[in-house]
């Protein structure tokens, strides 16, 4: 089982060496100890920021940010994070780059490696991001793909730790689409020894290969991962209840059909009555109020969505400082 809170300087130094220069494509590629290290580093960096102590550890470093998809939290948090750490972030719309006109990922990766210290990319295809990492000599950070959203999951776990303390053994219920957010959330929670219950409609299940991996990671850390088609079963006695939009970017044409398929999966007062009284509600945002979540829940006393959104900044600063 993972030991929460990296306790010795020797262990921390070892993990620092493991992370320096690494890519962050998914949390599957990271050990439980490495994820715990990043979360503890984020907690320290957030505390220091609140106290006005932000050392310019990335002075002279430049992060290139490539976007194939729209963004609010990812773009702003990465850009602000680099500035706070003394570095510089450069926004690049993929359509404005030569890669948008057919330049190979091989050429793009090699060229950018000569200009930048790292690349954060928000892309349509996870396979393309993997190829970019293969042909780059600098860290590549996944800001979102069709398969994973690791930076979001780190911010989610950071928020859970702040509110619940040690999260090992806590029950996390995810209700909604078995998408990229669900994948990274479940894998991250599995690394932390949590009990993850995933409820999706039929036809919108968690990726089966990733489900097997998540179960294996959870088992090694004293946790568990289960799937159901019953939201009430998933939410019963949950410490954390989480959802995401039913139609993500690129799925707008499916919105009407998804609204029908996801009936009964809304996070509302009736559903969260099955969770623990002190449950916390999380949503990666943007939210469609009165679709996947009732306004009374997302704006209610158990909601931590804005603390969660702010934590994108602190979690990503920890990632940037560790990898660079």
Is 244 in the active site?
yes
Catalytic residue (choose from 23, 40, 122, 183): 122
Report the C-alpha dihedral over residues 188, 190, 193, 194, rounded to 10 degrees: 90
Strands (E), the chain: 62-67, 88-93, 118-122, 140-144, 171-175, 195-199, 224-228, 240-243, 280-283
137: exposed, middle or buried (C-beta count within 10 Å: 0-12, 13-18, 19+)? exposed
C-alpha distances out from residue 41 to 37, 46, 140, 181, 249, Å: 6, 9, 20, 22, 31
In angstroms, rounded to a whole number, what is the distance separating the alpha carbons of residues 283 and 296?
Answer: 14
Q: How far apart are CA 311 and CA 267, in angstroms?
A: 22
Grouping H, G, I as helix, E, B as strand and the rest as coil, residue 181 is helix
Told to judge if 288 belongs to the known catalytic residues of this protein, a careful annotator would answer no
Q: How many CB atoms lie within 10 A of CB 102?
A: 6
Active-site choice (36, 146, 149, 191): 149
Confirm whether 289 is a catalytic residue.
no
Helix (H, G, I), strand (E, B) or coil at 43: helix
Binding residues for carbamoyl phosphate, by number, are: 71-74, 98, 122, 149-152, 284-285, 312
| Vertex 130 angle, CA 127 and 135, to 5° | 130
156, 312, 314, 316: which one is catalytic?
312
- Indicate if 278 belongs to the active site: no
The secondary element (H helix, E strand) that includes residue 211 is helix 208-220
Spatial strand order of the sheet with 280-283 comes to 224-228, 195-199, 171-175, 240-243, 280-283
User: Pick the catalytic residue: 23, 36, 117, 284?
Assistant: 284
**Residue numbering of the annotated binding site for L-ornithine:** 180, 244, 248-249
Kindly name the residue from 244, 266, 314, 316 that is annotated as catalytic.
244
**Known binding site: residues?**
71-74, 98, 122, 149-152, 180, 244, 248-249, 284-285, 312
Determine whether 122 is an active site residue: yes
Our answer to whether residue 258 is catalytic in this structure is no
Catalytic center residues: 122, 149, 152, 244, 284, 312
């Amino acid at each position: 089982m993972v030991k929460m809170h990296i306790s010795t300087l020797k262990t921390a130094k070892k993990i620092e060496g493991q992370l320096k220069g690494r890519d962050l494509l998914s949390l599957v590629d990271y050990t439980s100890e490495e994820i715990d290290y990043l979360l503890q580093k984020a907690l320290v960096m957030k505390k220091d920021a609140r106290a006005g102590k932000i050392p310019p550890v990335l002075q002279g470093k430049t992060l290139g940010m490539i976007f194939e998809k729209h963004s609010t939290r990812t773009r702003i948090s990465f850009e602000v994070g680099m500035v706070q750490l003394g570095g510089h972030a450069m926004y690049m719309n993929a359509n404005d780059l030569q890669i948008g006109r057919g330049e190979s990922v091989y050429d793009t990766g090699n060229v950018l490696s000569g200009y930048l210290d790292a690349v954060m990319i928000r892309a349509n295809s996870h396979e393309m991001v993997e190829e970019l990492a293969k042909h780059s000599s600098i860290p590549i950070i996944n800001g979102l793909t069709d398969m994973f959203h690791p930076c979001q999951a780190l911010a989610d776990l950071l928020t859970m730790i702040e509110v619940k303390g040690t999260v090992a053994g806590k029950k996390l219920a995810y209700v909604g689409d078995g998408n990229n957010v669900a994948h990274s959330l479940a894998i991250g929670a599995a690394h932390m020894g949590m009990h993850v219950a995933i409820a999706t409609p039929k036809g919108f299940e968690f990726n089966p290969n990733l489900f097997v991996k998540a179960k294996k990671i959870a088992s090694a850390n004293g946790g568990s991962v289960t799937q159901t088609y019953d939201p009430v079963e998933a939410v019963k006695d949950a410490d954390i209840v989480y959802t995401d939009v039913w139609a993500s970017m690129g799925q707008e044409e499916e919105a009407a059909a998804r609204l029908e398929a996801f009936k009964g999966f809304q996070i509302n007062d009736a559903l969260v009555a099955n969770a623990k009284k002190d449950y916390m509600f999380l949503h990666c945002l943007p939210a469609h109020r009165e679709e996947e979540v009732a306004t009374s829940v997302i704006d209610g006393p158990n909601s931590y969505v804005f603390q969660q959104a702010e934590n994108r900044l602190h979690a990503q600063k920890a990632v940037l400082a560790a990898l660079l």
